[in-house]
């Protein structure tokens, strides 16, 4: 296995570990309020405490919260219901959740579900009316309710702000992570003097999948980008600089003429940014004047012009056949200074490297 493939495999493995760990950390189980009956305090309330005649009764059991009520005339707006809180007065949390309500009913098909929420710098935990109300009417059919509720559809009732003398702009900050009380109020459409029952079978806080989905998609995208760039990097490393085609068939060996030796040497070493005519002469045991003369006679170019020719030919080859950046190409073909490379390219080719690449 190549080093590049090994690195890609390691990256994918690491991403898989992060993906699994992230899912474990972000995963939240469904919480059912009814499953915690032993930790709950359930009480009833009605308008009887305010001069009304309505009636409500709660009979504890081990598997549900069931209450019976009867709406009676007595005050203009009769009311009754049940009030659920934790015995240790800690909060319920529905933050980032939908709420699933499952219930059996008789004599009615609806209930008003209300969350009483802690308001920052507003709520006194010892004063029930200081909690912020959010509520929604929930309706079923055939004596059964099974509804998934988006908490964003719950609203603060207008009477709550009016009773407290505050405007919309003065609303305290709150979140569904701090629900102090859960209230089920009667169905106001229930006929007077008719008994009705409501049995709460399940009240689930179901975490939304959005966070997990976003995390998983982000990890897949980031891993793909990482692997792509590692692959690109490995491809660049595989590039081999190929000398431009020679103008003539060259011979090699101990009997090669001086001009062949000079041309061969330049074809193999032009990428050396500091290459000079003296370097060639020393390497081939010739004198500098002889080297310059060979180039002049063979190509009618000076040593520097021919060196630039070789470099430009290779630069054009790389511009057309690779995705290398111009700066990289300039270094690869023997120019340490990018601006010098750009000047030579423009002077010899009549256009910039970018313009040449787009042709």
pLDDT at 67 over 60: yes
The arithmetic mean of pLDDT across residues 97-105, rounded, is 94
pLDDT for res 223: 75
Q: Map tokens 């598997």 to a residue.
A: 63
Segment of 117-126, 215-224, 245-254 carrying the highest mean pLDDT? 117-126
pLDDT tens, position by position, 186-218:
888 888 999 999 999 999 999 987 766 777 777
pLDDT for res 17: 74
Among 2-11, 190-199, 221-230, which stretch is predicted with the lowest mean pLDDT? 2-11
Class of domain 31-212: mainly beta
pLDDT at 102 over 90: yes
pLDDT for res 23: 67
pLDDT for res 239: 40
Q: Map tokens 């702000």 to a residue.
A: 161
pLDDT for res 83: 94
pLDDT at 114 over 50: yes
pLDDT for res 251: 46
pLDDT for res 24: 67
Smallest Cα–Cα separation from 291: which of 245, 269, 282, 314?
282
pLDDT at 336 over 70: yes
User: Where does the pLDDT of residue 5 fall: very low under 50, low under 70, confident under 90, or very high at 90 and above?
Assistant: low
pLDDT for res 220: 77
pLDDT for res 29: 86
The arithmetic mean of pLDDT across residues 60-73, rounded, is 91
The arithmetic mean of pLDDT across residues 278-292, rounded, is 92
How many angstroms separate the CA atoms of 182 and 237, rounded? 64
CATH architecture of the domain formed by 242-358 = Orthogonal Bundle (1.10)
Smallest Cα–Cα separation from 197: which of 77, 73, 33, 64?
64
Residue ranges of E strands in the chain: 31-32, 40-46, 55-58, 65-70, 80-86, 97-106, 110-119, 132-139, 144-150, 174-185, 195-207
The arithmetic mean of pLDDT across residues 112-130, rounded, is 93
**Buried/exposed 90-128: b ≥16 CB within 10 Å, e otherwise:** ebbebbbbbbbbbbebebbbbbbbbbbbbbeebbeeeee
The arithmetic mean of pLDDT across residues 332-349, rounded, is 92
Domain boundaries along the sequence of the chain:
31-212, 242-358
DSSP, collapsed to helix, strand or coil, labels residue 349 as helix
DSSP, collapsed to helix, strand or coil, labels residue 137 as strand
pLDDT for res 136: 94
The arithmetic mean of pLDDT across residues 180-184, rounded, is 96
DSSP, collapsed to helix, strand or coil, labels residue 203 as strand
pLDDT for res 8: 65
pLDDT tens, position by position, 232-271:
665 544 443 444 444 334 445 555 688 888 988 998 899 9
pLDDT for res 20: 79
What is the chain's mean pLDDT, rounded? 86
pLDDT tens, position by position, 16-59:
777 777 666 666 789 999 999 999 999 999 999 999 999 999 98
């Amino acid at each position: 296995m190549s080093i590049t493939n090994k690195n890609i495999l390691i990256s994918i493995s690491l991403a898989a570990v992060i993906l699994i760990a992230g899912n474990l950390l972000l995963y939240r189980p469904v919480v059912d309020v009814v499953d915690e009956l032993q930790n709950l305090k359930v009480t009833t309330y009605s308008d009887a405490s305010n001069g009304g005649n309505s009636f409500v009764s709660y009979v504890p059991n081990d598997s549900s919260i069931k209450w019976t009520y009867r709406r009676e005339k007595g005050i203009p707006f009769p009311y009754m219901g049940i009030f659920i809180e934790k015995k240790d007065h800690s909060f319920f949390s529905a933050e980032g959740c939908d709420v699933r309500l499952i219930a059996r009913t008789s004599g009615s098909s609806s209930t008003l579900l209300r969350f009483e929420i802690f308001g920052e710098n507003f709520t006194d935990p010892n004063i029930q009316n200081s909690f912020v109300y959010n509520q929604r009417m929930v309706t079923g059919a055939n004596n059964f309710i099974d509804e998934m509720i988006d908490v964003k559809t719950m609203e603060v009732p207008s009477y709550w702000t009016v009773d407290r003398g505050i405007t919309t702009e003065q609303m305290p900050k709150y979140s569904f992570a701090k629900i102090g009380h859960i209230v089920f109020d009667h169905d106001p459409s229930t006929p007077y003097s008719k008994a009705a029952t409501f049995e709460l079978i399940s009240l689930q806080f179901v975490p939304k999948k959005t966070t997990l989905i976003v995390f998983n998609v982000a990890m897949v995208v980031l891993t793909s980008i990482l692997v792509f760039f590692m692959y690109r990097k490995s491809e660049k490393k595989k590039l081999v600089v190929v000398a431009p085609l020679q103008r003539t068939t060259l011979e090699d060996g101990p009997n090669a003429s001086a001009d062949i030796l000079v041309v061969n040497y330049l074809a193999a070493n032009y990428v050396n940014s500091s290459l000079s005519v003296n370097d060639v002469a020393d390497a081939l045991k010739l004198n500098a004047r002889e080297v310059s003369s060979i180039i002049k006679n063979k190509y009618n170019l000076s040593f520097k012009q021919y060196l630039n020719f070789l470099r430009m030919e290779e630069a054009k080859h790389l511009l057309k056949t690779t995705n290398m950046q111009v700066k990289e190409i300039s270094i690869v073909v023997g120019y340490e200074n990018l601006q010098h490379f750009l000047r030579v390219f423009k002077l010899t080719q009549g256009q910039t490297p970018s313009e040449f690449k787009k042709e």
